[in-house]
A and B are shown apart, each in its own frame.
Chain A
Amino acid sequence: MTAVNHAWAVNPTLPIVLPLLAAFLLQPLARVSEPLARILGPVVLVACGWLIYQLWLAHGGEPVAVAIGSFAAPLGIVLYVDRIALLFAIAVPTFALLFWPWSVSGERAARESALLLLLVASVTGLALSGDIFNIYVFYELAAVASFGLVTVHATGRAYVATIRYLLQSAFGSLLALVGIAILYTKTGTLNLAQLSQVAPTTLHDAMGLASFALMLVGFGVKGELFPVNTWVPEVYATAPARVSALLAGRVHDALFERLMP
């Protein structure tokens, strides 16, 4: 696990940035040319899948941390690319393609596609992120995109379900944020790799346990309480699983390694 920026054939930020860019380009593009806007989403998703496959080939699933903007780990933000992250990252565009809204048309198609691309971008970011605050940001982005997707049917019941989901999810992420604040107070770092190193010594007390419990509950709210969506649950289910995997893989394991003899 080195923080060195290797000579990458493929930059791992691309599968996050491309769908994000496409999501915001889609609406204006739909005004200009609707057929082009209709194929933009699937094309970008296929490109993302291909990029992640290239990433896998380039590194054979060996875990690598990549600093963004060439700031090193303690201050900069890193992407942590390993086998399971790539697996989740490739599952996201695949599921998005499977659940792509082919049948809807008109302005609603552009709106739905944009939200779905936003979701893909944020969940890919969630999968590849190596910084716990970045995970929170991507998680909120995924949440907002999914709020939009839940209201897509535009019935009163959909709105009521959305507000219920929104309140629960927002309070959950607030709890996670409080957990992150405690974590930062205790350790002085937000980098997952560094956290796993310092966790056994600094988080081995009630405060560390409290911060972990808050984050687990906070991030867990979303996984458990998905209300009315009919066609993204699979895409969506990858997000909390991945966060749990990241948390469990780093903080939780480190905690328990220390707690067990």
Chain B
Amino acid sequence: MIPFSLETILYTGAIGLVVIGAFGLVLSTHLLRMVLALSVAEAGGNVLIVLAGYRGEAVAPILGYAAPGTAMVDPVPQALVLTAIVIGVGVQALAVAVLVRIYRAYGTLELRVLVERMQGEISEAAGIPRSSSTHAPAGERPLPPVPALLSHQARGVRP
């Protein structure tokens, strides 16, 4: 039986959040979900920075809060994490603003559909029929099934 200290659990949680965010970024096919995954990963990163200065027995680094000479938590990472949180929120706000523009331009945030519509737009601009790209192999090109997309098609809903 491995004894789990509080710090081990916290570190595992922080790194776990980053990993969950990374998987979400890679595996999701919806742009909004990717932005959400990014914010999960950023939360993990921020927890990791706070943990960099954390000591179990120490008190908050506030002047006059504890008796002089008491061990304090390192205040530098807390100042850093404040900056990191603000930067993260700013970047996410920018991402959502860009998502709104993408939705207005293409009417979807689903990646597969989005790529299809973009390619359609490109072929239209080039003046060739939509499915006649010279780069496409002859015949059908099967795509791996995407559950969300399949259920949309099965229900006859335009994704």
Contacts and interface: CB of A to CB of B under 8 A. Distances in A.
Nearest to A134: B83
A171 B22 CA distance: 8
Interface residues of A, number: 30
A239 to B, nearest CB: 16
Contacts of B18: 174, 178
B77 A184 contact: yes
A157 B98 contact: no
Given A157-B118, A159-B101, 4 more contacts: A156-B118, A174-B41, A182-B52, A185-B51
A167 B99 contact: no
B94 A166 contact: yes
- How many of chain B's residues touch chain A, expressed as a range? 35 or more
Interface of A: 133, 136-137, 140, 143-144, 147, 151, 154-157, 159-160, 162-163, 166-167, 170-171, 174, 177-178, 180-182, 184-185, 188, 190
B72 interface: no
Given A156-B106, A156-B118, A177-B45, A170 B91 contact: yes
A144 B94 contact: yes
Contacts of B122: 157
B87 interface: yes
B31 interface: yes
B105 A155 contact: yes
A151 B98 contact: yes
A104 to B, nearest CB: 19
B41 A163 contact: no
